[in-house]
């Protein structure tokens, strides 16, 4: 295939990198502390194929022990190391006034550790929680809109508050590493990443993160390098059990090599894609030899001739494709790069469109891959349905892979489902079974989505709605308020009453967009209360409704309030821009601070399939019978 010629802006200097590589690609290991930096001899350049040594499960090595060897401390006592670390810490603080936060109890992030109860007291004070409550009651008492007070300019301060408490059991060396990390990471994104990593992996990894940050040759790539390391630690084949001195050496030499061989990815107003982290997350990535040179060639071929948003889109989709379990690392090479480029070019024409989001989210879905047989079946099935657009063809290709072409076509003809990629495999299978089973007992779960998704945002929902399989499922896609009402009435007539309904559409505090129609016909709005009240008999006695519509709960008298009041429903809705069923980072910090991070679910159903607990991003709020709780 021929590529379109575009202006290239790689920003790299191959001659400069070649001269550096002539010496070695290795770790310039740091000394014991910032005030006593000793350089070790660089390691020799690694071969193209690298195979780190795995530790046995019975012989796991603590990260701190690995760092002792890497930094030449293996012959020093722990007391000697801590004395030098304390000196290093003081030197950093003396050099950097921005790290000095005056509080009566000392330095934020570096203070004498506080106990758990003191932490909870501060959380209660921050969110005006008056009475003594359990951990879960504290979380439930925090009004999501209060999280706004710790966003934006205060986000770094809150991250430091998190660390102040999270480091209560940290060693002196871990506290020093934290300070040095703040020195190396100048922006909030870096601090948030470290916070997320420590929440999940523990404070002992601060030493390793600091070592990685200080030994990444290209200082503009410190954060992507740490993200790639986190991906390896999350990989089920690797993780903590793979840690060793050799492993970290190999990781650094590999990433520094790739950083030198591929151009920097700097996109204003975007989060930079991390293609290497995508590959490292892939469950097929094991300790078998990894060809760093082949990976670099593949990435360069993917973006050859592209610039600006086109390059960004290609890398974003590539990150997800490399992480997809249907991708095998042995597939790396120019042939795969041409194949993936061809898919992106054919279906999205490198335009910012719903199809671009569709492609990205399809590759995030383990039940999708771009086999030609399914792409061809998707084209044929879409044509049989009377559809010809590239977006529709991709949706039917996904449906053919998870359901088969006959079932996909039947679901389209009977229920009008076109945008199959919005739904997970389990939901689609459950919905098809409901459709053909003759079920009429009610207590249904209904997914009611808009037809007009101008941004492709609802292709993110396939994973978050997958848990909703306790009861029979109906899927409908509609474009007007009248179609919405007709769908509700026909569902209850043929299948029984609705117990739980998800409504997806682009939202404002007063509307939920459904289709492209002009005026109020293409949306649910405040004027539809009487229409909604007529639908009340189609629902169970105490129905539950979730609005996946940005800002639809943005005021006490919003469209969320109208729907909840008209249907006597318990209703959840975001009060600002939302990513659906997902938790805001600040709430995850709070969970971690009180020891609750890993055990909580975003969506929990009871034995009858009713929502017991739900967390919506975008400051989710709850209404009961039209009243905001």
Q: What is the pLDDT of residue 535?
A: 96
Q: What is the pLDDT of residue 151?
A: 43
Q: Are strands 473-478 and 444-450 parallel, antiparallel or unpaired?
A: parallel
Question: What burial class does residue 461 get, using C-beta atoms within 10 Å of its C-beta: 0-12 exposed, 13-18 middle, 19+ buried?
Answer: buried
Q: What is the pLDDT of residue 476?
A: 96
Residue 204 has pLDDT above 70, yes or no: yes
Mean pLDDT for 176-193 is 70
**Between 507 and 86, the higher pLDDT residue:** 507
Q: What is the pLDDT of residue 87?
A: 60
What SS3 state is found at 622? strand
- pLDDT, tens only, 82-134: 566 556 545 544 444 433 332 222 323 322 233 344 455 555 555 555 555 55
How many percent of the chain have pLDDT more than 90? Answer: 34
| CA angle, residues 110, 116, 119, in degrees to nearest 5 | 65
Residue 183 has pLDDT above 90, yes or no: no
How confident is residue 370, by pLDDT bands cut at 50, 70 and 90?
very high
DSSP letters, 69-84, are HHTT-TTS-HHHHHHH
Residue 608 has pLDDT above 80, yes or no: yes
Fold exhibited by the domain 423-628? Rossmann fold (3.40.50)
Residue 169 has pLDDT above 80, yes or no: no
Q: What is the pLDDT of residue 101?
A: 35
Average pLDDT, the chain: 75
How confident is residue 519, by pLDDT bands cut at 50, 70 and 90?
low
Q: What is the pLDDT of residue 616?
A: 81
Q: What is the pLDDT of residue 565?
A: 95
What SS3 state is found at 416? coil
- pLDDT, tens only, 545-597: 999 998 899 888 899 999 999 999 999 998 888 777 877 665 665 555 555 54
Residue 14 has pLDDT above 60, yes or no: no
Q: What is the pLDDT of residue 552?
A: 92
How confident is residue 152, by pLDDT bands cut at 50, 70 and 90?
very low
**Residues ≥6 apart with Cβ < 8 Å to 388:** 382
**Between 314 and 182, the higher pLDDT residue:** 314
For residue 295, report the phi and psi dihedrals to the nearest 5 degrees. -60, -45
* Helices and strands: H and E segment counts in the chain: 24, 13
Asked if 547 contacts 598 with a C-beta cutoff of 8 angstroms, the reply is no
Q: What is the pLDDT of residue 162?
A: 58
- pLDDT, tens only, 248-267: 877 888 888 888 888 776 65
Q: What is the pLDDT of residue 311?
A: 87
Q: What is the pLDDT of residue 489?
A: 96
Predicted TM-score (pTM) of this structure: 0.75
Distance CA 474, CA 493 (A): 13
Strand partners, 613: 604
Strand partners, 611: 605
**Segments of the chain assigned to CATH 3.40.50:** 423-628
Range from 47-56, 217-226, 470-479, 613-622 carrying the lowest mean pLDDT: 47-56
Q: What is the pLDDT of residue 375?
A: 94
């Amino acid at each position: 295939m021929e590529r379109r010629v575009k202006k290239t802006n790689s920003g790299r200097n191959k001659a400069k990198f070649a001269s550096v590589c002539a010496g070695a690609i290795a770790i310039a290991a740091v000394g014991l502390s910032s005030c006593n930096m000793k350089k070790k001899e660089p390691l020799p350049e690694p071969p193209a194929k690298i195979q780190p040594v795995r530790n046995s499960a019975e012989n796991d090595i603590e990260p701190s022990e690995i760092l002792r060897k890497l930094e030449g401390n293996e012959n020093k006592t722990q007391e000697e190391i801590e004395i030098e670390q304390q000196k290093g810490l003081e030197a950093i603080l003396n050099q950097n006034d921005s790290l000095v936060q005056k509080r009566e109890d000392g330095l934020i992030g570096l203070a004498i550790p506080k106990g758990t109860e003191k932490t909870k007291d501060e959380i209660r004070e921050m969110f005006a929680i008056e009475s003594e409550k359990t951990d879960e009651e504290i979380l439930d008492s925090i009004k999501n809109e209060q999280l706004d007070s710790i966003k934006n300019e205060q986000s770094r301060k809150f991250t430091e508050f998190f660390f102040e408490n999270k480091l209560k059991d940290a060693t002196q060396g871990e506290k020093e590493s934290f300070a040095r990390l703040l020195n190396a990471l100048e922006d909030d994104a870096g601090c948030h990443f470290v916070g997320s990593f420590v929440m999940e992996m523990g404070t002992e990894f601060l030493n390793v993160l600091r070592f990685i940050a200080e030994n990444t040759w290209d200082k503009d790539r410190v954060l992507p390098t740490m993200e790639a390391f986190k991906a390896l630690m999350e990989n089920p084949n690797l993780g903590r059990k793979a840690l060793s001195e050799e492993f970290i050496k190999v990781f650094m030499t590999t990433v520094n090599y790739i950083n030198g061989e591929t151009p920097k990815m700097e996109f204003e107003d975007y989060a930079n894609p991390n293609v290497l982290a995508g590959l490292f997350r892939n469950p097929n990535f094991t300790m078998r030899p990894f060809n760093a040179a082949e990976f670099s060639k593949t990435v360069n071929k993917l973006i050859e001739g592209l610039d600006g948003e086109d390059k960004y889109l290609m890398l974003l989709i590539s990150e997800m494709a490399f992480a997809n379990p249907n991708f095998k690392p042995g597939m790396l090479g120019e042939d795969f790069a041409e194949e993936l480029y061809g898919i992106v070019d054919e279906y999205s024409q490198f335009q910012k469109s719903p199809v671009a989001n569709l492609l990205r989210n399809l590759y995030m879905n383990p039940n999708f891959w771009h086999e030609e047989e399914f792409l061809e079946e998707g084209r044929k099935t879409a044509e049989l349905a009377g559809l010809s657009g590239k977006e529709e063809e991709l949706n039917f290709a996904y449906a053919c892979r998870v359901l088969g072409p006959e079932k996909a076509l039947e679901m389209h003809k009977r229920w009008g489902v076109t945008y199959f990629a919005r739904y997970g495999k389990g939901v689609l299978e459950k919905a098809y079974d409901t459709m053909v089973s003759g079920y009429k007992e009610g207590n249904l779960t209904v997914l009611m989505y808009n037809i007009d998704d101008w941004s492709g945002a609802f292709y993110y929902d396939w994973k978050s709605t997958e848990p909703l399989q306790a009861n029979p499922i109906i899927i409908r896609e509609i474009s007007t308020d009248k179609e919405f009402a007709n769908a509700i009435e026909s569902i209850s007539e043929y299948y029984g009453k609705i117990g739980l309904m998800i409504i997806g559409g682009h939202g404002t505090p007063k509307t939920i967009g459904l289709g492209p129609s002009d005026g109020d016909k293409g949306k649910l709005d405040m004027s539809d209360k009487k229409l909604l009240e007529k639908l009340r008999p189609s629902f169970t006695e105490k129905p539950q409704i979730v609005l996946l519509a940005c800002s639809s709960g943005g005021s006490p008298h919003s469209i969320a309030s109208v729907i909840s009041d008209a249907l006597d429903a318990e209703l959840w809705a975001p009060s600002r821009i939302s990513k659906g069923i997902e938790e805001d980072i600040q709430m995850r910090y709070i969970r971690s601070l009180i020891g609750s991070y890993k055990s909580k679910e975003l969506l929990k159903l009871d034995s009858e399939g009713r929502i017991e607990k739900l967390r919506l991003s975008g400051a989710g709020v709850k209404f009961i019978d039209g009243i905001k709780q």
